[in-house]
Amino acid sequence: MIIIGVFQAIQGIVALFNDTFYVVGEKWTFSFDITTWGWIHLLVGVLLVAAGFFLFQGAVWARVVGVGVAIISAVLNFMWLPYYPVWSLLIIALDVFVIWALTVHGRDVAK
């Protein structure tokens, strides 16, 4: 989860500092300014890193927050598909893995 958060933060920082790095291919229904996407990805990345840190500390609430933020991350990366499709699919796959791991194996960490 921390790695996904770092990836999201890097994606957001790149979008903030270099608007021309991401090229829009297809026109989709949901399109935002690249700078707006940068702030969104940076915020979600920070939330994922924080939840991952507290998950390592054994906080049960971090599992719930982690699942919620991973779901939000997967939806945001689905919306990010027109800008960077391969990266988005990678992050979505990692988010699904994190959701699965937190819901199936989360009790092991809490004990």
How much is the average pLDDT of 11-22?
A: 80
pLDDT at 106 over 60: no
Count the neighbouring beta carbons within 10 Å of the beta carbon of residue 5.
23
The pLDDT score that the predictor gives to residue 5 is 87
Checking if the pLDDT of 29 tops 80, the result is no
Q: How far is the C-alpha of 26 from the C-alpha of 40, rounded, in Å?
A: 21
Model confidence over 45-94: pLDDT tens digits? Answer: 899 899 889 988 888 888 899 899 999 989 988 888 877 788 889 999 99
Q: Residue 80: CB partners within 8 Å, gap ≥ 6? A: 11, 37, 41, 87, 88
Q: Which amino acid is at 27?
A: K
Instruction: Check residue 93 and give its pLDDT.
Output: 94
Four-residue CA torsion sign, 27, 30, 36, 37 = negative
Which position has the token pair 């919620």?
Answer: 68
Asked if residue 30 has pLDDT above 70, the reply is no
Model pTM above 0.85: no
Largest separation between any pair of C-alpha atoms in the chain: 48
Average pLDDT (98-106) is 85
The whole-angstrom separation of Cα 97 and Cα 67 is 10
Q: Structural domain boundaries of the chain? A: 2-17+36-110
